[in-house]
Chain A
Amino acid sequence: MPTSSSVPQATAGAPDAAARQAAASAGTSARLDALRGPVAPRSHDARTIAALTVNPGCSRRAVLDAAGVDKRKLAERIGFPARYGQSPFAITRGIAFEKQVKAENCAALLELLRGEPLNFSVPEHEYVDLGVEPSADPGAHAAVDRATRYQRTRDLFARVVAGEPLLADHPLLRLDVGGRTAYVEPDVVALSARPAGVSDGSPARLYVAEVKSFAVIDGQADPGKVGAAATQAAVYVLALRRLFAELGADPRLVADDVILVCPKDFANQPSAHVLDVRRQIAAVERQLTRLPRIGALISDLDPTVDFDLAVDPAETKGEPGRDHRTAAELTKSLTMIEARYAPECVTNCEMAFHCRAESRAAGAADALGRSVRDALGGIEAIEDALALADGSSNAATSGLRADQHEAARLLRAAARAYDEALRVAPRAAEPDGGAA
């Protein structure tokens, strides 16, 4: 969501978090910085944190992300530019829909929560937009720097903890990702409410609401998009819970249900849906705790490996600067860290096209997709599989590990069945009747 576009890039890494991390693992941190070279690290956002839960076994991406390397730029430099991009039409529509839901202090959102079918009990809220200067004209979205916004968010939630019903728009939260502070921005709002059927005596809980512009048609939406929204929302819930813990409040006050607001059917009419994101919270949390262990991945790396994308100043004035590392050097560094490629990577990792080319060049079964790789039962190279199926080369069989014999036997059976089937005439339609 484009809400952060007006916010200038703050240097990542709040001092306290960095210091804590530096003391704990100064070596790892220094090595990661060296890997990235003298360029500003790319900080995580909700989308990249959510992406950590996909294909967590890939060391290459884990290291690049931990070092804050700009993967998109890296992919471009080595000649495999990622083909992403969002259509301007989709962006416009997203902005327009969000504006509509948040108009008049989120009136539409509150109405949705109170109405059918959710029937939440929502008290009157004071609406606070944390994205704008409090003193400024309410219509003007003045840019506020991240530190200020975070501080303001923190102050606001301290009041929420004290029991005030506040509706926070554009809050800015922090999450420690592998020792580096990432700022995440719930594209909406957190508000206290009670679901229908919960007695008034129990404490109201805080809900994260997420506005997405994909349509829910007859109660159904694209499962891929809902899944992505749920994981992103889980990141926000987690960040909010950390803040609550820091403020000395019970993190469980932040509900593990989130509210997804989407257009209903083909109209622009918003509709609200409750999503249980407990599973996503657990997945994100697991990946975040795993990240500090990145040290193990990089401790054995050759000291010459780095992904320095810096541009050296030109020797003569007026000439364009020269890349510090050539494409070949960067590619060589990449090969030193193992990737776990699967065709699905193309949809969520900038490095995917490079890894695909590498995997194809190596003749790895990974390139054919996870189901094929699993069916081959531990035989990693396509060429080996073909040799085994052929059965003619004993050399292929003799080098097998014990656990590969079963796969080899099946491959031979499959090849034989296929060859025999080719010799049998199929039952085809009569040529003259085919046109009926």
Chain B
Amino acid sequence: MPIAAVRHVHVSDEPLVLIPLMQAGEAAAPLAVMAGTAREDPKLLIVAQPRNRDQRFDFLTALAELLVPYILARRSHTETVEATKNREEWDRCTDAPQLILPNPGGVEALRLLGRSARFRTVDGPYPVDARVPLLGRYLTWFADDRAPMPGSSVCLALTSVLGQHWATGQSALEDQHLPALLSWIDPPRGMTGAEAALRAEDPDLVPPAGPSTDPAFDTGVLAPLVRAQEEARAAEDLRAVTKAEEELRIALAAQLEPTWQTVWRGIDVLRSLPAAASDQLRWQVDRGRFTDFMTGIEEGAPPQAKRPSAVAAARRLADLESAQQSYDRSQAIDDPLVLARYRVGGEAFAGRITFVDAERQEIKGKRAWPRPLVVLHTEDEVILRPGVKLASPARVAQTVRLRAVRPSPSGSGSEVELELQSGMGRGKTPEEGSVPLVGEERCYATFLAEQRGTRPDLPEAEQTPWTHGGPPWPYVPRAEEQAETWE
């Protein structure tokens, strides 16, 4: 059942679907990745022995070969953004990359891969290909910097996104299972959502969407194949190695293929919803952040810190909070179904305008200010107190003050008396169209009138007070990081 009328995430024209599988029991040992931008053409990368460091780095190099061109292709076209108060004129990329993963576990796996790769260097005790640390920084940007940011669409976990737009007949925990969730939303012909979801949960019929594999698959299929491959390698029997690796590929492909199809089906389902009006503005922010990140890399910025400094952490927290606030707002403005939730919670009410006094004024000092009075009839229970500030999605910039709530003379519902306070132009009388009309349906909500969060005043990083650890140390690649054995 849809709980959103429009799509609140951006779906790129050419998203890159990425399905990681990780080895059980290891911190970040990739087993396989199926990735690509075309449904018909999945690319499969595997690690024959996930515990072998060299093979892991070979894998990361191969993954970089796949990802880096995709990312760079989005860097090439830019548009000029005119200078504003806070920023000089700059060029913004006209597109940004978008990774789509099956679930939050996949994003976490990506984050760990990014963390394990970004401090690597081309020299030192364990030299790697130059693309590996770069890939690490990209992955960190996707999975750690942007994925948790409300409203950002460059790195999406499909289960979370689908769950944001559809409600199912199972619990939130079970909704984490991509095939089951999609079975509820879009059941195969001739089956109910419940039946399809039950079937989708059987790991023998439908392999799990990762990043962990089914333990029965590990025991029955994977372990013997990995062993065969190792033995062939030890015996230096090249033909046997090739054969064993080929078998491993086939087995892993069989585990990944169904999820690959499911993810693309999920993308189809998402695309079937019309994009919300704010979608382009949000994607524009993503494009801007992408441009900034790429510029940083081109200008030689160090890799993302393991732990942010005090100032960076405070700034990040403020950014997350204000992003959440503006994402909540724009969703409620775009989508009546989202707004309905606030009505149930008592933060908003909706009804029909029954009376308007557009002439009303208030004398303040020497000037008269337009203060029209509006009465709205609602069936919602209004638990808000007089004096509270409200705004309507129909006219967000207009602040309205609640004057009184009284039971409706008609006997059902209540009458709310409101005073319009702003958004009526500069004149003595309200501008044309700025006052609601009798008979109009309106919804008013408290959180829409709230002041947008302003960033707290934070010192420059170099001026961090000693109470917060003092200025952060400049980044120097440490031998310890290069030498991190990762085995």
Residues of chain A having any CB pair with chain B under 8 Å: 83-94, 213-215, 217-219, 263, 265-269, 343-344, 346, 360, 367-369, 371-372, 410, 413-414, 416-418, 420-422, 424-429, 431, 433-436
Chain B residue at smallest Cβ distance from A411: B344
The answer to whether B340 and A420 have CB atoms under 8 Å apart is yes
B157 contacts partner chain A, Cβ-Cβ < 8 Å: no
The verdict on A426 contacting B336 (CB below 8 Å), with A344-B173, A410-B344, A416-B379 known, is yes
The answer to whether A418 and B340 have CB atoms under 8 Å apart is yes
Partner of B487, one of A94, A215, A268: A268
The answer to whether A427 and B486 have CB atoms under 8 Å apart is no
What residues on B are CB-neighbors of A89 within 8 Å?
A: 23-26, 50, 218, 222-223
Chain B 279-309, CB within 8 Å of chain A: the 1/0 string? 1100100000000000000000000001100
The verdict on A429 contacting B171 (CB below 8 Å), with A87-B213, A217-B27 known, is no
Query: Can you list 14 A-B pairs, Cβ within 8 angstroms, ordered by A?
Result: A87-B219, A90-B24, A90-B25, A215-B27, A265-B484, A266-B28, A266-B484, A267-B485, A346-B173, A413-B344, A417-B380, A418-B337, A426-B6, A435-B13
The answer to whether A267 and B487 have CB atoms under 8 Å apart is yes
B78 contacts partner chain A, Cβ-Cβ < 8 Å: no
The answer to whether A424 and B218 have CB atoms under 8 Å apart is no
Chain B 366-387, CB within 8 Å of chain A: the 1/0 string? 0000000000000111000000
Report the bound CA distance from A91 to B276 in whole Å. 48
Report the bound CA distance from A392 to B434 in whole Å. 39
What residues on A are CB-neighbors of B283 within 8 Å?
A: 436
What residues on A are CB-neighbors of B484 within 8 Å?
A: 265-267
What residues on B are CB-neighbors of A367 within 8 Å?
A: 170-171
CB proximity to A under 8 Å, residues B134-193: 169-174
CB proximity to A under 8 Å, residues B316-357: 333-337, 339-341, 343-344, 350
9 extra A-B contacts, CB within 8 A, seeds A89-B223, A420-B336? A84-B215, A87-B218, A89-B23, A92-B25, A265-B116, A266-B28, A421-B339, A421-B340, A427-B277
Chain B 200-220, CB within 8 Å of chain A: the 1/0 string? 000100000000110110110
How many A-B residue contacts, CB cutoff 8 Å?
Answer: 146
Report the bound CA distance from A26 to B427 in whole Å. 91
Partner of B25, one of A87, A269, A421: A87
Residues of chain B having any CB pair with chain A under 8 Å: 5-6, 13, 23-28, 50, 112, 115-116, 169-174, 194, 203, 212-213, 215-216, 218-219, 222-223, 274-280, 283, 306-307, 333-337, 339-341, 343-344, 350, 379-381, 441, 484-487
The answer to whether A428 and B307 have CB atoms under 8 Å apart is no
The verdict on A436 contacting B280 (CB below 8 Å), with A218-B306, A265-B27, A372-B171 known, is yes
The answer to whether B219 and A85 have CB atoms under 8 Å apart is yes
Report the bound CA distance from A335 to B381 in whole Å. 42
Report the bound CA distance from A94 to B26 in whole Å. 9
For the complex formed, measure the closest distance between the CB of A87 and the CB atoms of chain B, giving whole angstroms. Answer: 3
The verdict on A343 contacting B171 (CB below 8 Å), with A427-B276, A428-B276, A434-B279 known, is yes
The verdict on A426 contacting B276 (CB below 8 Å), with A263-B27, A367-B171 known, is yes
Report the bound CA distance from A33 to B339 in whole Å. 57
Partner of A429, one of B26, B28, B275: B275
Chain A residue at smallest Cβ distance from B173: A343
Report the bound CA distance from A416 to B26 in whole Å. 50
The answer to whether A426 and B307 have CB atoms under 8 Å apart is no
What residues on B are CB-neighbors of A427 within 8 Å?
A: 6, 276-278, 333-335
Chain A residue at smallest Cβ distance from B2: A422
Chain B residue at smallest Cβ distance from A366: B171
Report the bound CA distance from A131 to B51 in whole Å. 30
Chain B residue at smallest Cβ distance from A265: B484
Partner of A266, one of B116, B173, B216, B379: B116
Q: Which of A86, A89, A92, A428 has the most CB of B within 10 A?
A: A89
Report the bound CA distance from A268 to B27 in whole Å. 10
For the complex formed, measure the closest distance between the CB of B93 and the CB atoms of chain A, giving whole angstroms. Answer: 12
Report the bound CA distance from A83 to B215 in whole Å. 9
Chain A residue at smallest Cβ distance from B26: A93
The verdict on A417 contacting B6 (CB below 8 Å), with A87-B24, A266-B484 known, is no
What residues on A are CB-neighbors of B335 within 8 Å?
A: 426-427
For the complex formed, measure the closest distance between the CB of A383 and the CB atoms of chain B, giving whole angstroms. Answer: 12
What residues on B are CB-neighbors of A410 within 8 Å?
A: 344
Report the bound CA distance from A266 to B486 in whole Å. 5
What residues on A are CB-neighbors of B278 within 8 Å?
A: 427
The answer to whether B336 and A369 have CB atoms under 8 Å apart is no
For the complex formed, measure the closest distance between the CB of A187 and the CB atoms of chain B, giving whole angstroms. Answer: 15
The answer to whether A343 and B174 have CB atoms under 8 Å apart is yes
Report the bound CA distance from A426 to B337 in whole Å. 8
Partner of A414, one of B213, B339, B344, B441: B344
What residues on B are CB-neighbors of A213 within 8 Å?
A: 25
What residues on B are CB-neighbors of A85 within 8 Å?
A: 215-216, 219
Report the bound CA distance from A343 to B216 in whole Å. 22
Chain B residue at smallest Cβ distance from A218: B306
What residues on A are CB-neighbors of B306 within 8 Å?
A: 218
The answer to whether B275 and A434 have CB atoms under 8 Å apart is yes
Chain B residue at smallest Cβ distance from A214: B27
For the complex formed, measure the closest distance between the CB of B201 and the CB atoms of chain A, giving whole angstroms. Answer: 9
Report the bound CA distance from A421 to B216 in whole Å. 47
Report the bound CA distance from A408 to B92 in whole Å. 52
For the complex formed, measure the closest distance between the CB of A282 and the CB atoms of chain B, giving whole angstroms. Answer: 27
What residues on B are CB-neighbors of A86 within 8 Å?
A: 24, 215
What residues on A are CB-neighbors of B350 within 8 Å?
A: 417, 420
The verdict on A428 contacting B336 (CB below 8 Å), with A89-B223, A413-B344 known, is no
Chain A residue at smallest Cβ distance from B3: A418
Partner of B6, one of A90, A372, A428: A428
What residues on A are CB-neighbors of B334 within 8 Å?
A: 426-428
For the complex formed, measure the closest distance between the CB of B169 and the CB atoms of chain A, giving whole angstroms. Answer: 8
Q: Which of A268, A343, A425, A426 has the most CB of B within 10 A?
A: A426
The answer to whether B276 and A88 have CB atoms under 8 Å apart is no
Report the bound CA distance from A417 to B445 in whole Å. 14
The answer to whether B307 and A218 have CB atoms under 8 Å apart is yes
Report the bound CA distance from A368 to B168 in whole Å. 9
Partner of A428, one of B26, B277, B381: B277
What residues on A are CB-neighbors of B344 within 8 Å?
A: 410, 413-414, 417
The answer to whether B336 and A424 have CB atoms under 8 Å apart is yes
Q: Which of B25, B173, B174, B280 has the most CB of A within 10 A?
A: B25
The answer to whether A417 and B340 have CB atoms under 8 Å apart is yes
Chain B residue at smallest Cβ distance from A266: B486
What residues on B are CB-neighbors of A269 within 8 Å?
A: 485
The answer to whether B487 and A429 have CB atoms under 8 Å apart is no
The answer to whether B172 and A88 have CB atoms under 8 Å apart is no
Report the bound CA distance from A372 to B167 in whole Å. 12
What residues on A are CB-neighbors of B277 within 8 Å?
A: 427-429
The answer to whether A93 and B170 have CB atoms under 8 Å apart is no
Q: Which of B171, B174, B222, B283 has the most CB of A within 10 A?
A: B171
Chain B residue at smallest Cβ distance from A216: B27
Report the bound CA distance from A343 to B177 in whole Å. 13
What residues on A are CB-neighbors of B28 within 8 Å?
A: 215, 266
The verdict on A369 contacting B173 (CB below 8 Å), with A267-B485, A269-B485, A436-B283 known, is yes
Chain B residue at smallest Cβ distance from A370: B171
The verdict on A421 contacting B276 (CB below 8 Å), with A86-B215, A89-B24, A369-B173 known, is no
The answer to whether A422 and B25 have CB atoms under 8 Å apart is no
Chain A residue at smallest Cβ distance from B50: A89
For the complex formed, measure the closest distance between the CB of B361 and the CB atoms of chain A, giving whole angstroms. Answer: 32
Q: Which of A88, A219, A263 has the most CB of B within 10 A?
A: A88
What residues on B are CB-neighbors of A424 within 8 Å?
A: 336, 441
Chain A residue at smallest Cβ distance from B219: A88
The verdict on A267 contacting B280 (CB below 8 Å), with A89-B23, A435-B13 known, is no
What residues on B are CB-neighbors of A413 within 8 Å?
A: 343-344, 380-381
What residues on A are CB-neighbors of B218 within 8 Å?
A: 87-89
Chain B residue at smallest Cβ distance from A357: B198
What residues on B are CB-neighbors of A417 within 8 Å?
A: 340-341, 343-344, 350, 380
Partner of B275, one of A92, A422, A428: A428
